[in-house]
Amino acid sequence: MNRVNVLETNILHASDVIYWLDGSSAPDPNAMLRLPAALELQLTTRPGDLLVVNSVGKTAFLRRPQNPIVAGSASEADLQPSISPTFNIAGIVSDSSGRYIARR
């Protein structure tokens, strides 16, 4: 009989996601379409541990996990997502194709 050891790793989860919407696609924000191209994002203010993943129509912000790694089986409390402190970001969002107006 073979024995298998399973190691569960603590991975990053997006703490916040911005969906970039085309305001001219619909009058109702819930019906607006996501932008068909990635925007350029230049942050001037951000936490040091913030990882920014920018893709078509959205930007995700990832932070290092605050919960410790649990040895053995995790309890129900260990499985609950931790409440992350708020953080500020500032910068410029622009579109190299010129279809959308840059914002600060």
Question: Model confidence over 12-24: pLDDT tens digits?
Answer: 556 788 999 988 8
Task: Tell me, yes or no, whether 75 lies in a domain.
Answer: no
DSSP string, the chain: -------------EEEEEE-B-TTS-SSGGGPPBPSSPPEEEEEE--TT-EEEEETTEEEEE----SPPPSSSPPHHHHSPP-PPP---EEEEE-TTSSS--B-
pLDDT mean over 50-75: 83
List the domain range (segments joined by +) for residue 60: 12-64+84-104
Structural domains counted in the chain: 1
Task: Tell me, yes or no, whether 76 lies in a domain.
Answer: no
Q: What's the whole-model pTM score?
A: 0.69
Q: Look at 27 and 65; give whichever has higher pLDDT.
A: 27
Task: Tell me, yes or no, whether 23 lies in a domain.
Answer: yes
Task: Tell me, yes or no, whether 53 lies in a domain.
Answer: yes
Task: Tell me, yes or no, whether 49 lies in a domain.
Answer: yes
Task: Tell me, yes or no, whether 2 lies in a domain.
Answer: no
